[in-house]
Structure 1
Amino acid sequence: MGALSHIRVLDLSRVLAGPWCSQNLADLGAEVIKVERPGVGDDTRHWGPPFVKDAQGQDTAESTYFVCINRNKRSITVNLSKPEGQEIIRQLVLESDVLIENYKVDDLAKYGLDYASLRQIKPNLIYCSITGFGQTGPYAHRPGYDYIVQGMGGFMSVTGEADGFPGGSPQKAGVAIADLFTGMYASSAILAAVIHRDRTGEGQMIDMALLDTQVAMMANVASAYLSTNEVPRRWGNTSPIVVPYQTFPTSDGWMIVAVGNDSQFRHFVKVGGEDHLADNPRFSENPLRVQHRTELVPLLEAMTRKKTKAQWISLLDEHGVPCGPINNMKEVFANEQVQARKLAISVPHDTAGTMKLVASPIRMSATPTEIRTAPPTLGQHTDEILREYLKLDSSAIEALHKHGVV
């Protein structure tokens, strides 16, 4: 039994931050009921290509985006614009511990599905709302998108090549980090709220905002500004205070070299057959290398291009120089450590046959995470949920389908 096997989550969220949160809870054992729009479903079901392929190599209707954030869930389709659909949600709330939603501020109030309304029928409900800018403030009613928030929250101001270098400009992350971190913070908040409820019997509202999360995760960068009033700037893949501490090209790809002291620098250039660089008075000590980086780095790049990535990693590891590859995803899943940790898993799926997913990174000795079911097809569990929790018979369920309620 998972650590959260006693918890039921009603998930009205779509796209990334909310589903990422509920998937974390599901991996830990919670039962998650995913509520989707009839006939359409979560927006990310249609975000492709790429789509998951079946055993014959043909595309299924399952987008790779959707499946990465919706395993271990059951899907029910409910039309929230209909009073009968709203009543289904209220009945499911009575059977649930947690509700997660990411509608615009006040959108659910018109259906009587906001926290103020639902707490009247379930006082101990834990209600987690995820929005771009939170429930208060002048931006509360603005739609929030990860890309915009990465810019507004300062992340892009310190990400990308420095001004004056080729390609120097602000850069977003390769994945939606504001969404993902908000989902992780929301998971933690919900777990804290569950503990509080178990101790006191009191439910509560959780107000999560992408912008709040993005500013908070700036960590030492934000702290440095608040302490000094100096605006941090972009340094790309280099360090402002250590050289060489950056990416380098090899004959067949890229690697990272993180030289932390003068001895490591000497080993680095010796392995590359350029011992003289360590004896050069402009490069012999780190402060000098920082001062003369524009002269030194091109010489090091010419050196690193003479060997393959694998050759460099092996030689530098042998000589104690911190280094690592920059792997593409094929190389990631071929890596022996990734394979040893079993980060790629396969689960049976109704349309794909077998679906490959990334395992949860959470490792617990007593209550391990478990991938119990593949991401659901749209409305896959509608009828069984209506029977199980609302005690409806076949004729009542058929009527709901006929009238477009589910």
Structure 2
Amino acid sequence: MNKPLSHIRVLDLTRVLAGPWCTQNLADLGAEVIKVERPGAGDETRGWGPPWMPVEAGQERQDSTYYASTNRGKKSVTVDFATSEGQEIVRRMAATCDVLVENYKVGTLARFGLGYEDLRAANPGLIYCSVTGYGQTGPYRHRPGYDFVFQGMSGLMSLTGEPDDACGECEGGGPQKFGVAVADMTTGLYASLAITAALAWRERSGLGQHIDMALLDCALALGSNQAVGYLASGKVPRRYGNAHPNAVPYQVFATQDGKLIVAVGNDGLFASYCEAIGRPDLAADARFAGVSGRLVNRDALLPLLADIMRADTTAAWRARLEAAGVPCGPINDFAQAFDDPQVRHRGIRVDLPLSTGGTCPAIASPMRFSATPLDCQSGPPVLGEHTEAVLGDSLGMAPEDLISLRAAGVI
């Protein structure tokens, strides 16, 4: 009960990633999150395997690790709200909740009498967050879409990948998507922030509100300095691969036996870097002494640095640069990343208990609070695991009613 949102109840009508990522953040923060899923099927990502979660003896179904990565700490209730009985159950649950999060296409829930205007009458304090591809307004509002589409539409992919002048038409060249669904996850994070802000405002006003979150909006916001640079200059940014458009050297260098990331973000670090590689004269060179000079003259500077870095091993360079206070690091795969001493010290990997027995691996929330620490107590739920408890205990539904609804396929 000492978590930041332990007093908040959330009705989760989301599936796949952006919505579940949002509600998992709320669950990590202590909220009671009730995830409503389709009877017999559930969130479609339960079937997005392999890889799969471990199965205990006697367990009826196996869920994917994709589902597990976004649904820990939640309660699963199965309700078919395409039926009138299911709609009434969702309305009754919404009346007891502080927050509702949904990611159906625009207008879908309103057709079932479960839109914001339908539910606010019974619960004026309800914070209703809608997550869609294009938002609740605009010419594209009814279009479907997935993360990949928005990475492309937003311009993010135009910034990601090897530069045209370096790779041309060769394999691996051209725009690339991120290795994870960054538009979905960014939208989930923005939605979590918006919901907590709406909760803070409700404390003063007593009123809820409707939050309109769009993947396209959030992907454009993620464009950050690159997008603002275009708006100010009219110059479309180009791809730099593993280099940086506004800092030099800030890239991957080949070494004698591998690769090393070097991140020099200011003039002081450049002087330290040059000292560490035995070339203090480069920091004194008028062409390279300042940030702007290094940007303008990157084609003269970088080949010199590349030749120097190839002359020693990754470990040797890392030791020298770290001793000089220059940010640098390896390019790890996940096996190497989770074996890193700093990662182990921070407790990033956690093993959460499953109701079916055993545990599942998970990534700990990166939010660290001094007074209200987070410690997720449960892994992802089995489909419908909490149906009877939530509908019986929270809504006061009689056992015979639950039996009847289950027989009719409503729950």
Counterpart among 225, 229, 243 of residue 234 in structure 2: 229
Task: String of CA shifts for 1:187-241, please: whole Å, max 9, x gaps.
Answer: 1111111122222221111111011111122121122122222222211111345
Match of 1:144 in 2: 145
The 1:370/1:228 distance shift into structure 2, 3 A limit, reads same
Q: Confirm or deny that 1:353 pairs with 2:358.
A: yes
Deviation at 1:168, TM superposition (A): 3.7
Q: Which residue among 221, 239, 244 is the counterpart of 1:216? A: 221
In structure 2, what is the equivalent of residue 129 of structure 1? 130
CA gap of 1:25–1:111, structure 2 versus 1, over 3 A, is same
For residues 251 and 23 of structure 1, what CA distance do their matches in structure 2 show?
44
- Residues in 2 aligned to 1:165 and 1:200: alpha-carbon distance in whole angstroms: 56
Residue in 2 aligned with 1:340? 345
| 8 Å contact kept, 1:11–1:35 | yes
Question: 1:269 touches 1:278 (CA, 8 Å); kept in 2?
Answer: no
Cα distance in structure 1, aligned partners of 2:364 and 2:392 = 32
1:9 is aligned to 2:5: no
Return closer, same or farther for 1:281/1:384 CA change in 2, 3 Å cut-off. Answer: closer
Of 254, 267, 274, which aligns to 2:275? 267
Match of 2:409 in 1: 404
Q: How far apart in 1 are the matches of 2:194 and 2:274?
A: 48
Alignment partner for residue 257 of structure 1, among 250, 253, 262? 262
The correspondence of residues 57-76 of structure 1 with structure 2, limited to 5 A, is: 61-76=62-77
Counterpart residue type for residue 327 of structure 1: N
Partner of 2:119: 118
Shift of 1:308: 4.3
1:360–1:395 Cα change, 3 Å:
same
Q: Which consecutive residues of structure 1, in runs of 5 or more, have no partner in the other structure?
A: none
Taking a change above 3 Å as real, the CA distance of residues 369 and 132 of structure 1, as seen in their structure-2 partners, is same
Classify 1:284/1:377 alpha carbon distance in 2 versus 1 (closer, same or farther; 3 Å).
same
Aligned 8 A contact 1:269 1:277 in 2 = no
Q: Which amino acid is the alignment partner of residue 313 of structure 1?
A: R
Are the structure 2 counterparts of residues 35 and 105 from structure 1 closer, same or farther at C-alpha, using a change threshold of 3 Å? Answer: same
How much identity, in percent, do the aligned residues show?
51
AA of the residue aligned to 2:226: V
1:178 matched residue in structure 2: 183
1:277 and 1:284 in contact (8 A); partners too:
no
- For residue 198 of structure 1, what is the amino acid of its counterpart? E
Could you tell me how far apart the structure 1 residues matched to 2:10 and 2:385 are? 17
Q: Which moved more, 1:154-163 or 1:312-321?
A: 312-321
Is 1:325 the counterpart of 2:330? The answer is yes
In the superposition, relative to structure 1, how do residues 67 and 241 fare at CA in structure 2: closer, same or farther (>3 Å)?
Answer: closer
Distance 1:265 1:358 in 2: 34
Alpha-carbon shift at residue 144 of structure 1 (Å): 2.1
Separation in 2, partners of 1:292, 1:55? 61
Alpha-carbon RMSD across the aligned residues, in angstroms, is 2.7
Distance in 1 between the 2:316 and 2:61 partners? 41
Tell me, in whole angstroms, the C-alpha distance in 2 between the residues paired with 1:106 and 1:328: 42
In 2, the alpha carbon distance for the partners of 1:290 and 1:122 equals 56
When normalised by structure 2's length, the TM-score is 0.89
Residue in structure 1 matched with residue 208 of structure 2 by the alignment: 203
Which residue is equivalent to 1:77? 78
Q: Does the CA contact (< 8 Å) of 1:277 and 1:283 recur in 2?
A: no
Written as runs of structure 1 = structure 2, the 5 A alignment for 1:226-305 is: 226-240=231-245, 242-250=247-255, 253-259=258-264, 260-261=266-267, 263-270=271-278, 278=282, 293=298, 297=302, 300-301=305-306, 303-305=308-310
Output the CA distance in 2 between the equivalents of 1:256 and 1:284.
20
Secondary structure in 1 aligned to 2:121?
Answer: helix
Could you tell me how far apart the structure 1 residues matched to 2:125 and 2:181 are? 32
Asked if the contact 2:135–2:213 (Cα under 8 Å) also holds between the matched residues in 1, the reply is yes
1:388 aligned residue (372, 386, 393) = 393
Residue range with higher mean Cα deviation, 89-98 or 280-289: 280-289
Instruction: Report the count of equivalent residues.
Output: 401
1:293 shift after superposition: 5.0
After superposition, give the CA deviation of every residue in 1:110-160 in whole Å (9 maximum; x if it has no partner): 110111111122222111000000000000001121111111112112222
Please report the TM-score for the alignment, with normalisation by the length of structure 1.
0.90
Distance 1:334 1:133 in 2: 40
Contact 2:288 2:301 survives alignment (8 Å)? no
Corresponding residue for 2:46?
45
Q: Secondary structure at the match of 2:371?
A: coil
Compute the displacement of 1:303 (Å): 4.9
CA separation in 2, counterparts of 1:241 and 1:124?
46
Contact 2:154 2:219 in 1 (8 A): yes
CA contact (8 A) 1:313 1:323 kept: yes
- Residues 267 and 321 in structure 1, CA contact (< 8 A), matched pair in contact too: no
Q: Which amino acid aligns with 1:171?
A: Q
Runs (4+) of structure 1 exceeding 4 A deviation are: 275-303, 305-308
**Superposed displacement of residue 306, structure 1:** 5.4
> What amino acid sits opposite 1:68 in the alignment?
S
